[in-house]
Amino acid sequence: MKKILVLCTGNSARSQMAEGYLQYFAGSRALVYSAGVAPHGVNPLAIQVMAEDGIDISHHTSNHADEYVQIPFDFVITVCDNAREQCPYFPTAGEMIHHSFPDPGHTAPADTPEGDRPDEDKLTSFRQVRDLIKTYSQEFINSRLGQLALQ
């Protein structure tokens, strides 16, 4: 069984969504974890948009990358540039992979304060990033672990 770690800065949205999709597409062929270099809780909008697509991440926790340095990962995937730059050294990682996704919490125009963004704009951003992560996750699992017929 392969072990996959997904890293992001806060382990609140992108890495959580990627963990959910990678685990879904891998099934029993992999164990998938996610962590952050500065974790600050799972974003409720990430939980909401994943539930819209039938993936339950409400039980996920936000963890620090240091908690996983002793696990022999086959793949460590960074999903944001900051995590890539601050990624702890994983001596047991078989392959380090970087694929940056936009931060769904920071996609408003620069002059729009976070508190002033309409909720629908935030949801739209999360849905767009979710869809990018879903496509990437399915392609990753198919190319690295082979295709599996999902029920």
Catalytic residue annotation: 8, 80, 87
Decide if 5 contacts 34 (C-beta within 8 A).
yes
User: What's the rounded Cα separation, in Å, for the pair 58 and 108?
Assistant: 25
User: What's the rounded Cα separation, in Å, for the pair 43 and 120?
Assistant: 15
User: What's the rounded Cα separation, in Å, for the pair 85 and 145?
Assistant: 27
What is the maximal distance between C-alpha atoms in the chain? 47
Torsion of CA 101, 56, 43, 82, to 10 degrees: -30
